[in-house]
Structure 1
């Protein structure tokens, strides 16, 4: 019988200015009542796939983490410290749970910290990959399209305080969109710009379109679309193997006419979209090939 109980995560709490790190008991709290992560969603994070006790695509994650912190005006993270702690946590997880959980999720969390002290909070967590990820990879995802609920001015007059290009902790709207999708018989939402009809991104992933002729396309990242570390790894890897990869504006019609559509993210990896709104998308002959390409790119 397969146990339904996931093992306890491994947590390291970091001193945010390059100091020490300590192993934390996952059964005890470590975030204070006045931490900005709790009271304001004011902080950044990265989710990193671990395979065989090793972090994948780490350079891109670290670069985006530093960029996100800068966008929020947080002190620059000491990336060497984050890397060292990640290696220690990943190796500990692999030693304890690697046989049953060879794939795991590592999360970096960095917040503005306590209102009473002004000192940022930082921690690294390694835990089991959510079970629903394997199901999604096997079964695919039915996606609704819809507005994000707000428009982002990406022109010269864009508000400089907008943080949409950062991977922040403020995911309440995304989670609400996911709940709405599931309440209506779908698995995810692909956001679409209401003014232009452009495809943006899904709630927690990047949209990838596969077209005939070994062509891969993804929406142009910018202030209204988070730059995807997994998409970057995929395009680099696939480009070296003869795929023609391009960043360009996409529209819903591009989803419907594609050979296949995928939602790509670091830990969930590649999930094929099986329906857009009420339109079923049949599985192409190369679905297994594309899934394997995504897995290989993220493990490279």
Structure 2
């Protein structure tokens, strides 16, 4: 692109449904004692902005509210967040000067400064990374690894656990990605150490394509965060006759599937080309699947 990447678009939101104002990306806007920085005490969402449109906005907004509730944060005014997101998307589109450049829209909502307890809220749009685009072309090299601990479920689950929320505490996820890259891979599929059950990828949901027109994803229990993209894909696929459901399965199940895809909002759905060193050939319907997944993820 001749003029380089557009500057990030940033909006600061008043946490109780007040105004939203633009912020210069070259100036700071977070205080040193903000709990989102010092403790990872907050929630976030990552959305796709494509061709001026904020994709799957309602699903992200619903999960955002659920996450805030799980952390006992004041309920965010989602209409304010949605309006600010649409305005930011317009600003981003204008900054792209006629080029179609996908944007990564991030919502961040923290418990705020230690001295005030007033939440901090902001959103940003910046260009989707080169890595996001490149992996869609060549497919992903993925390793599986134990998550290292087993989550109690049902009556045995600790009532304060936050695994059902999309929290800012992503240090473990980032460590998993660094380990993958150090071992010549792009991502990690996490498994339960007690059962070998597939959980999720470090920053993505998992969809297995099975014979007979079936799409399968791990059950969202035991710390698995249900993905907005996976839900959107299943809704779209069912309209075209696919049998879609969540179930328990292991890594061998993935290796015997017709194809395996990692799904995230900005990277969209990317086929796993290699799993634990084993090549997973592209199926005959890979292009058809990618197009269907994209339709769902861009709505």
Alignment TM-score > 0.5, same fold: yes
- Give the 4+ runs in structure 1 shifted more than 4 A: 2-5
In the alignment, which residue of structure 2 is the partner of 1:102?
A: 101
In the alignment, which residue of structure 2 is the partner of 1:294?
A: 293
The structural deviation recorded for 1:275 is 1.2
In the alignment, which residue of structure 2 is the partner of 1:153?
A: 152
Cα pair distance change 1:232/1:26, threshold 3 Å: same
| CA contact 1:42–1:112 (8 Å) conserved in 2 | yes
| CA contact 2:45–2:107 (8 Å) conserved in 1 | yes
Length-normalised TM-score, structure 1: 0.97
Question: For the aligned residues, what is the CA RMSD?
Answer: 1.2
Give the distance between the partners of 1:221 and 1:4, measured in 2 at CA.
Answer: 43
The structural deviation recorded for 1:105 is 1.3
Length-normalised TM-score, structure 2: 0.97
The structural deviation recorded for 1:10 is 0.5
The structural deviation recorded for 1:6 is 2.7
1:30 correspondence with 2:25? no
The number of equivalent residue pairs is 299
Give the distance between the partners of 1:291 and 1:53, measured in 2 at CA.
Answer: 21
| CA contact 1:143–1:277 (8 Å) conserved in 2 | yes
Give the distance between the partners of 2:39 and 2:65, measured in 1 at CA.
Answer: 20
1:113 correspondence with 2:112? yes
Give the distance between the partners of 1:47 and 1:98, measured in 2 at CA.
Answer: 23
The structural deviation recorded for 1:26 is 0.3
The structural deviation recorded for 1:98 is 5.7
| CA contact 2:12–2:123 (8 Å) conserved in 1 | yes
In the alignment, which residue of structure 1 is the partner of 2:186?
A: 187
Unaligned runs of 5+ in 2: none
Cα pair distance change 1:232/1:128, threshold 3 Å: same
Q: Where do 1:99-248 residues align within 5 Å?
A: 99-248=98-247
In the alignment, which residue of structure 2 is the partner of 1:58?
A: 57
SS at match of 2:156: coil
SS at match of 1:106: strand
The structural deviation recorded for 1:134 is 0.7
1:72-99: per-residue Cα shift (whole Å, max 9, x none)?
0100000111011011100111112163
1:284 correspondence with 2:283? yes
The structural deviation recorded for 1:5 is 4.6
The structural deviation recorded for 1:150 is 2.5
Compare 147-156 and 253-262 and name the one that shifted more: 147-156
In the alignment, which residue of structure 2 is the partner of 1:39?
A: 38
Give the distance between the partners of 1:65 and 1:28, measured in 2 at CA.
Answer: 26
SS at match of 1:133: helix
1:204-237: per-residue Cα shift (whole Å, max 9, x none)?
1000000112210000112410011000000000
